Chain A
Amino acid sequence: MKEEPLDFFDPGNSFVTVDNFESSLADLYAEKRDMHYGYSDYAFHLITGTDIFFNARESGDDSRFGSYVSVLNPTKGLTLYYWTQNYKIISNANTIISRLAVAEISEGDKMKIEGEARLFRALAYRDLVYLYGGVPLVIEEVTSPKTDFVRASKEDVLNQIVADASYAATNLPGITAVQDGRLSNLVAQHLLAETYISLGDYNSAIAAASVVIEDPNTALMTQRFGSLATEPGDVYWDLFRVGNQNRSSGNTEALWVAQMEVDVPGGLLDGSGNGGNAYERYHVPATWTLNDPDGKNGFLGPRSDDNMGGHGVSFIRGTPFMESTLWQNDFDGDMRNSSFNFKRTVTYDNPESAYFGKSAVDFPGTVIESANWRWYPWLTKVTTPGQHPTNLYIDQELKLLSNSSASTYRDQYYLRLAETYLLRAEAYLDNGNTTNAAADINIVRARSLAIPVSPGEVTLDYILDERARELSFEEQRRITLQRTGKLVERVRKYNPWNSSEIQDYHGLFPIPAKEIEANINGKLEQNPGY
């Protein structure tokens, strides 16, 4: 009558060897990557509906964050998604930490494993605290049913992040000592810097950010490099070409990179379907659906070139602020707005069209005139023209892509040194030192050959603008805005679609209704307004 599982493991004896723990850590990496880049609409909901991106189709549906009132209802899936995903990471990290205590492996291994697990826990609480405010703190392994959670204060959560990130900063190896894609002490320091800002401890924030910046192994990339270094382009463009994100490509700017490979187990991306990391599909406009002024097809189809940008479907569009206002100051000088990085034209490519080779913006057909979402300026950092996986091509010569082309087929930055500079600038600003703040911002701007900012111009809004220029599609914009308390204000100001309906209380997600209901022995206070 004794029951022996045949095809799953017993948690009781699966945390013994270093390999066991490595497997548990691999799961944390995979879960984190899945949360932000998996094949779920929710994965891009931290980016769209903000001050810089909105639903290109201009409709109120939930799947593209069309309406704050609707999508942020406590009964909806989005709020439960980030809650569940992050708490699963926390739970698995807790299990690792508690099992580690009794595992018979070397102290060195233990510290490294615990450092990684605790940093994942800190990163999960970081998402939660900025999205939801103070949330229940769980830092022990849960081995029996628990239904009496209560919300901790925001400060308690931030302090827990500091505690975990500090441990990781001390015990994790340096960036050159870890494999590409693995957490290093610098990620912990960056997180510490951000968290200290939220705690109002700006000196500690500056100190932590400085550790990252002053690390001899990190530097912004200022010269052409990587897989397409000899092609026409610029260094900012190089940062986003296939194979150019890991340190192995010579990239010293990357601090932490989400690893992706096409058609390899554990690589997330699927060369034949909906693998995830779908920014290309969602951001690139559906140019291939346009007709020419004669009413004929103006385009051959979705193509892997920088005219078309791949198989776009026009879901996430830059707000007018993102498309133009942001660049007005230095439209031609800022590399990030160069024709390599921001596509502002499109040319008919169907040889059968009388307008072949002519600009569809100058010679619009009826489709684009009535539905301007079918084409709009777009950022090349989400796509990989000419570098799509081979089996996605229907016609190799014409670079025609099949409908399965769905992803940005490359690694994604979780953290890049440019962000650390902007973070330290924020800390300096908060500390009243606009000179140093401007200096940090200008290091980032200098790489893009942009006009320097003067200390007098530096405000939090300016930093957020700079982050938009530098880090679009990389930072989880919604978290940045909620962290800085700027979400509602900036959405109202810059997002033409959501501005009229966003409410003051939308600066935080609601606690999911399901959690309030299931937590029968405790009370989870709902966020105000919901």
Chain B
Amino acid sequence: MKNTIRIILLLMLVFSVQWMNGQTSPVSGTVTDSQNVPLSWVNIVEKGTTNGVVTDFDGNYTISVSGSSAVLVFSYIGYEEKEVPVGSNTNVDVSLQEDLDALDEVVVVGYGTQRKQDLTGSIVSADLKQFQESPNTNILQSLQGSLPGVTIGSTETAGAEPNIQIRGRSTLNGSQDPLVVLDGVIYRGRLSDINPKDIKSVDVLKDPSSKAIYGAQAANGIVIVSTKKGKSSQKTTINFSTYLSVQTPTQSRRTLNREEYLTAARDTDWQNGYLAPDFTEVNPDWTIENNTAFFPPLLEGLGKGTDFNWFDALTDPGYIRDHQLSIAGSSNKTSYYISAGLTSQEGWVLNDNYDRKTVRVNFDTQLYDWLQIGVNTFGSFSDFSGVSPNLSTLPAMSPLTQPKDENGEYIINPLGNSSVNPFLQTTSDDRDNLNNISAIFYASIDVPQVPGLNFRVNYSNNYRWSLRGNSDIYGAGLTGRASKQNTSTFDTSLDNILTYEKRFGTDENHGFKATLVAGFNTVDFEQTRAVGTGFSNLALSYNSLEQAVIQQISSDAWTESYLAQTGRINYDYKRKYLLSASLRRDGFSGFAANNKTSLFPSIGLGWVVSKENFLMNSTFVDNLKLRGSYGVNGNLTSRYSSLARLEAPSSSRYLFGDGGTTINGQTVVSLANPDLKWERTKGINVGVDFALFDNKISGSVDYYKSKTYDLLWDFILPEISGFSSIRSNVGELENSGVEFALDFNPVHTDHFNWNFGVNFASNQNKINKLLGEDRNNDGKEDDLVANGLFIGESIGAVYSYEINGIYQIGDTDIPDGWVPGQYRLKDLDGDGAITPEGDKKIIGKTEPAYQFGIKNSLSYNNFTFNFFISSVQGGKNSYIQNNDPWSSPNFSYSTPTLAQSSNRFSDIDYWTPKNPGARFNSPGVSTPIYASHYRDRSFIRLQDISLAYNMGSHLMEKIGLQNIKLYASGKNLLTFTDWDGWDPETGQGLGISNSGLPVMKSITFGLDISF
């Protein structure tokens, strides 16, 4: 991880400028490392001024200094800073010593920073450079697969926010989202709203002790995002970057064409479409006209020879265009970073659009020696306007029909049934804006009388609001429908942070740091919505809803508040023995009256073995550290979940008599649970960090184990009680795992540098305890079958029937209700019938067995070649997911009519008499027990590959530029998997669903200019 920090800071330094500005004494020279290898991009500043340059590719520099008293400061990340008085020299050659201990490497921890070397927990820093050439519109995409223990999902739609999970799932129903801390303050908005180009670093706190500083919200891990700042003593750097990315699906799938579709209709009705007894010979008496439920439009298309590809008509290659401009710099006391970004993405499906404008101003100034104030502020304005076609019907549209009639008008119900033309909604006038503005003000006071004592206040306000409007002339059964919705969330927080840091004793052997924090956070939500139907004129779209005959309004609101006090102590002896301990007290309004607050302690220990005498002079061990920690974290439930709710939904309304007046109904919808408690996770982490052979090999290995108690769970109740479930605390679950990250730097020469690394993570999830009762007296605790929870199994345990092939024609053992072509379920209890009590078993789990990433970076002179391979693996029976071609949340081939007349994708291997060995059953048949296939999602993916060219700095100097970089990159170009359907990583399978979108692969071309 050392390299990571170097790289990030290096990125910052390359912004330095190197032009002359009217000073008189020129000084030049060469900067090399201890092995006499020239160092490029070394920052050289005349001390006490902002006059500075950087070295070129050959390590050469020229700077004009104010006179012979000038002192030059040479700095380069990973090397010790050096100050050299110029005197009368015109040539100053400097050799920088590599900073093997990397004392300056810091990571951001909760409410402060810490030297990486002093950490006792497990914190990983993202290697943002590795992915800088990828068309990632969200910072999380640049973390995907590269951080061990951090699982980030793929996205399908433009501008979507990926899922993130850290070290497995530690909760059943509690929040599963990690806490995001942006520039020191808890951030609850979308990470997509943060321009990835503005981000300097991402650190992820994974172990219970590091997380414990965030107490009640810490259990799912902490993602700390820090944005760029201007650096003091830095020349202004203007950076412009742009890229264009073209996207197509990783899987190419198509729907059946006319001929295939007509065959499928016969196959679906195989009992009549083919001749007994084998059903392989076509029944000549069977025709589409006479034997299917095709409605007139289909029959008409049949006669006309129509063969229309609906799927093709609504999909096109997508693209992303991205432009970024940033200015970073400083004057004596003030530094700034200003940026503007424009991202526009057009998805593969029509109207899947995303436009984002971002602006950021980060500013700080040293008002007095003891007082620094600053503000980090940004605005993000996203536009998702446009409605995509209805993907839950689109692939099912018959090729015998067309979207438009002879006159070019859209046909409302092209199939002749109630299925609406998926084109219609794309024509609606749609507005969908998400906006986010945020300002974090801070003041930092170094108390003059007490060296080492600092008081800092962070005051943050974040306002997020969305405006939605839609007007559809085809809506509400062609009477016209328009709606408008305004939503806003206001998030305020205040943290008071007191820090005292001092080294004392002989040789300053004792290091001591204490941090105290007190703060609060409130979130307020508002929503207003109006819907109108029945418009005689929709020309005013959604802006004059009073034109509607039927008008409906609704509004919602909620509020929640958090209160926290935290203390932390860090102590070290000779930076060799490390101790860290913290305690947090948290309060959250969303918990039941008796359990509003709780305490979250932690402790961590570290031993830097390589500082011991016996290793001090080792030739091959550069660093070796052992560390271990323990901590308690909490997890929130959603607000109001302990209260009983009485609602007045529109479905509870009634009226009496013809023309009667509406009476609002009210109904109790949930039970109160006054004893609802925090969900608590206690865990340990042990790890080792090492660097060997002159830092050619470095890495870390971590083992962790955590147990979560009082799990928040929507406990399933018998409906007899009038309620489906109640939010409660039950049982205990456990996560344990191993992670490692290895970095290799085998070749490091003047012209050629080669880095590669592997990361690996494996997490095991296990339910240890549920209700702790053994009612069936079998000597072990009972499972909660209705809840799908099983002792000793993971949360993702799949409890289902075992499919044992498919019933074939001629099989004599087909039970009542089943027919050939349907799955043969195993009669596990051998009672001759398939029942949920006797024949379900745990057939696997949805969680992966392990995942790994391989990164590689080669640079030769001005060229850099990177690639990254990501893989998630299921092993024998893990990482499985339901893959049912016929039944998805939004579309099902449940009846013979639907099964015959609905189109389907061409890659579904389903049963017909001619295809007895098929993987999937034939559609349109109901069986007494419904079971579907679970399939392995394992994959290996070439996630990123890029080639970049940095133009030589000699040339740059002549035209006054600092750097020009040209690059080409590919994303998701290759995926190896046995999964059927759209994508293993998203779990989108063969079936048709509303969210059934493929993951995109893309080719990107980019340009990056600094001057």
Q: Chain A residues in contact with chain B, CB under 8 A?
A: 1-12, 14, 20, 22-24, 26-27, 29-31, 33-34, 57, 59-64, 66-67, 69-71, 73-76, 80, 83-84, 87-88, 90-92, 94-95, 135-136, 138, 142-147, 149, 179-182, 243, 246, 248-249, 259, 261, 263-267, 270-274, 286, 288-289, 291, 297, 313, 366-367, 369-371, 391-392, 394, 402-404, 406, 411, 501, 503, 512-515, 517-521, 524
Contact = CB atoms under 8 A, between A and B. Distances in A.
25 contacts: A7-B556, A9-B648, A27-B652, A30-B654, A59-B896, A61-B895, A61-B925, A63-B894, A67-B817, A69-B928, A92-B667, A92-B668, A95-B668, A246-B658, A249-B658, A263-B550, A265-B662, A266-B665, A270-B477, A272-B475, A272-B477, A286-B295, A369-B290, A404-B477, A519-B718
A3 B643 contact: yes
A144 B716 contact: no
A392 B477 contact: yes
Contacts of B894: 61-63
A246 B658 CA distance: 7
Contacts of A265: 552, 650, 653, 662
A7 B651 CA distance: 17
A264 B549 CA distance: 11
B793 interface: no
Nearest to A85: B719
A142 B718 contact: no
Contacts of A246: 657-658
Contacts of B662: 264-267
A404 B481 CA distance: 14
A243 B299 CA distance: 39
Given A11-B646, A261-B660, A514-B786, A266 B291 contact: no
A73 B926 CA distance: 11
A182 B656 contact: yes
Contacts of B648: 9, 23
Nearest to A21: B666
* Most chain A CB inside 10 Å of its own CB: which residue of B534, B587, B644, B930: B644
Given A1-B561, A3-B590, A371 B291 contact: yes
B370 interface: no
Interface of B: 287, 289-293, 295-296, 299, 412-413, 416-418, 420, 475-479, 481, 533-534, 549-550, 552, 555-561, 563, 587-590, 593, 596-597, 639-640, 642-648, 650-660, 662-668, 671-672, 715-724, 726, 728, 771, 775, 782, 784-787, 816-817, 819, 835-837, 894-897, 924-930
Contacts of A501: 816-817
Nearest to A501: B816
B647 A8 contact: yes
B99 to A, nearest CB: 48
A179 B656 contact: yes
Contacts of A75: 836, 929-930
Nearest to B785: A517
* Most chain B CB inside 10 Å of its own CB: which residue of A88, A95, A521: A88
A243 B658 contact: yes
B666 A289 contact: no
B728 to A, nearest CB: 7
B720 A136 contact: yes
B543 to A, nearest CB: 21
Nearest to A5: B640
Given A265-B650, A313-B418, 12 more contacts: A3-B589, A4-B559, A5-B558, A6-B557, A70-B926, A73-B817, A266-B655, A274-B418, A402-B477, A513-B837, A519-B720, A520-B786
A271 B479 CA distance: 9
Given A24-B667, A518-B718, A14 B656 contact: no
Contact of B644 (A10, A145, A248): A10
A266 B928 contact: no
Contacts of B558: 5-7
Nearest to A260: B655
A259 B589 CA distance: 43
A91 B723 contact: yes
B250 to A, nearest CB: 35
Contacts of A273: 476-477
Given A5-B645, A22-B663, A143-B671, A73 B590 contact: no
A518 B771 CA distance: 13
A519 B413 CA distance: 46
A67 B926 contact: yes
A454 to B, nearest CB: 41
A519 B412 CA distance: 48
Contacts of B477: 270-273, 391-392, 402-404
Contacts of A91: 668, 721-723
B718 A515 contact: yes
B646 A403 contact: no
A180 B719 contact: no
Contacts of B722: 87-88, 90-92, 94-95, 138, 142
A259 B657 contact: yes
Contacts of B657: 179-181, 246, 248, 259
A203 B416 CA distance: 55
B665 A26 contact: yes
A63 B895 contact: yes
Contacts of A26: 652-654, 663-666
Contacts of A182: 656
Given A23-B665, A261-B660, A515-B718, A313 B417 contact: yes
A59 B897 contact: yes
Contacts of A259: 654-657, 660
Contact of A261 (B416, B596, B659): B659
A501 B479 CA distance: 45
A121 B52 CA distance: 85
Contacts of A402: 412, 477-478
Contact of B589 (A2, A64, A67, A70): A2
A14 B665 CA distance: 12
Given A26-B652, A272-B476, A61 B924 contact: yes
A10 B646 contact: yes
A232 to B, nearest CB: 24
Nearest to A297: B296
Contacts of A33: 654
Given A92-B668, A391-B479, A272 B925 contact: no
B775 to A, nearest CB: 7
A414 B846 CA distance: 48
A263 B782 contact: no
A135 B647 CA distance: 28
A319 B296 CA distance: 26
A261 B663 CA distance: 13
A366 B290 contact: yes
Contacts of B724: 84
A70 B817 contact: yes
Contacts of B816: 69, 501, 503
B443 to A, nearest CB: 28
B640 A3 contact: yes
Contacts of A7: 555-558
* Most chain B CB inside 10 Å of its own CB: which residue of A8, A57, A143, A411: A8
B775 A520 contact: yes
Contacts of A181: 655-657, 660
A519 B782 CA distance: 13
A517 B658 CA distance: 44
A95 B671 CA distance: 12
Contacts of B645: 5, 8-9, 11
Contacts of B837: 513
A1 B596 contact: yes
Contacts of B420: 403
Contacts of A2: 589, 593
Contacts of A24: 665-667
Contacts of B928: 67, 69-70, 73, 76
A10 B643 contact: yes
Contacts of B930: 75-76
Nearest to A249: B658
